[in-house]
Structure 1
């Protein structure tokens, strides 16, 4: 299996026998329908039904840069490096959700829980809510409330309250009240 993945990755990097183009926001990449269809039910559906992607032999992924797209394809082709994954995991999470790649979505979910800090906790909380990542949301809440980091990022938190979803705000205050109750 590893040898086969390496062969497909080599075909991708050298554009050997590609049969469809992915148009990212700032460039294009030739890929193989069969590989995309094998990994994603969404891609499979695009190629199985009479959709514009099948007819035009092109997929528009305008919400992804060419760099993010290339790394996403490296994942699909089984040739992703750990540093590449860590750098692009938020883009991967969006793509995993959009193209129904549950294994990638779970890998992103697990990874995003590993390095929560004061610089990213509010963004991660918003991401967790958007993509229904319950474990990440719980970790962010615990970090903010139980570890008292909400006081360390007072200004950022105040700004966050201005644009955050009401449901998240309600959950944060519920968590704060539960923590106070424990004192």
Structure 2
């Protein structure tokens, strides 16, 4: 039957505008439907291609002793490199009268060619009929089929992005328009408005202020006397998700100090990663001091590696004496140990 099917497949499904129209498959969501108006007593028909997921698909129907319905992906690079592991069911319906239908079991197959799957119908009623394919799941097959993941949960990424943008838009309006703002932040040179619930949700220090009988709870005021208005705006913008990249880079050190003071780990981690990106001879000693001050192990290791493993200590010889006069003794010991490690004979 396979050889006979292949000969018919090469012959196509016939010509003419009506036949082309009959070969069209309509799709909606994860459902594909092929309506066939005419079908001879012994013939083969193949549909036009239709798109479900990342693949183009074909349906074919062949009538010999039995009726065979096949589902297969379009041959090509996509099907070869990313073969579909499909979970689906099929339904054949005859218009009647009376209307009749036949539903397949749920199938799950790795589909590479037209020979990988067929559905056998023991009966074939006269008249027009439709073939439906409902895809219940589609996966890109891996070497280990158990680890294959569905392509459709990836749609949730778009939903999450939309939801995130919507949430950020709402938070931005709450901040810029002071919608139901219930806390005042006093900086060294200005005042900001914010929301207790949002500040408390990101910082255990802020939460403690509003939870216990402290002056911040009574007055709904926070005094941040070690930040200017611009730096504090960057801090609040980070918390609300509205901070701009250039604003972040300009105020990284102030943000790091505030993150350490108010125990905001996300900001602290982000600042450390950023400070690692642009270490150079003019800032490495300052970064090393910052790393020591706020216990930033990755940044400290990066600075020591820059100085001693890459030999940039010679570029800061004039600044090193002043640095040693103010450096912590334990930090100086670590630097000495790094020197020994870097210069250890191989």
TM bucket, shorter chain: over 0.9
TM-score, normalised with respect to structure 1: 0.96
Greater RCO structure (CA 8 Å; 6+ sep): 1
In structure 2, what is the equivalent of residue 87 of structure 1? 250
* 1:21 and 2:188 correspond: no
CA distance, structure 2, for counterparts of residue 180 and residue 40 of structure 1: 43
* 1:2 and 2:165 correspond: yes
Instruction: State the Cα RMSD in Å.
Output: 1.1
* 1:51 and 2:214 correspond: yes
CA distance, structure 2, for counterparts of residue 34 and residue 8 of structure 1: 12
Moved over 4 A (4+): none
CA distance, structure 2, for counterparts of residue 67 and residue 94 of structure 1: 14
Cα distance, 1:166 vs structure 2 = 0.8
Which of the two has higher C-alpha Rg? 2
CA distance, structure 1, for counterparts of residue 243 and residue 190 of structure 2: 20
In structure 2, what is the equivalent of residue 126 of structure 1? 289
CA distance, structure 2, for counterparts of residue 25 and residue 6 of structure 1: 29
Range moving further from structure 2, 31-40 or 120-129: 31-40
Q: How many residues align?
A: 183
Cα distance, 1:14 vs structure 2 = 2.2
In structure 2, what is the equivalent of residue 177 of structure 1? 340
CA distance, structure 1, for counterparts of residue 334 and residue 310 of structure 2: 16
After superposition, the Cα gap between the structure-2 partners of 1:182 and 1:2, relative to the gap in structure 1 and judged at 3 Å, is farther
Secondary structure of 2:343's counterpart equals: helix
Task: Give a deviation string over 1:12-67, Cα, whole Å, max 9, x none.
Answer: 11223211110111111111111111211111111111110011111011011110
In structure 2, what is the equivalent of residue 33 of structure 1? 196
Which of 285, 307, 320 in structure 2 is aligned with 1:157? 320
* 1:65 and 2:228 correspond: yes
Secondary structure of 1:22's counterpart equals: strand
CA distance, structure 2, for counterparts of residue 168 and residue 109 of structure 1: 18
Which of 261, 266, 280 in structure 2 is aligned with 1:103? 266
Q: Is the 8 A contact 1:6 1:78 kept in 2?
A: no
In structure 2, what is the equivalent of residue 140 of structure 1? 303
In structure 1, what is the equivalent of residue 12 of structure 2? none
User: If each structure's strand is expressed as a fraction of its own residues, which one has the higher value?
Assistant: 2
TM-score, normalised with respect to structure 2: 0.52
Q: Is the 8 A contact 1:145 1:175 kept in 2?
A: yes
Q: Can you give the 5+ residue segments of structure 1 that lack an aligned partner in the other structure? A: none
CA distance, structure 2, for counterparts of residue 10 and residue 118 of structure 1: 42
Q: Can you give the 5+ residue segments of structure 2 that lack an aligned partner in the other structure? A: 1-163
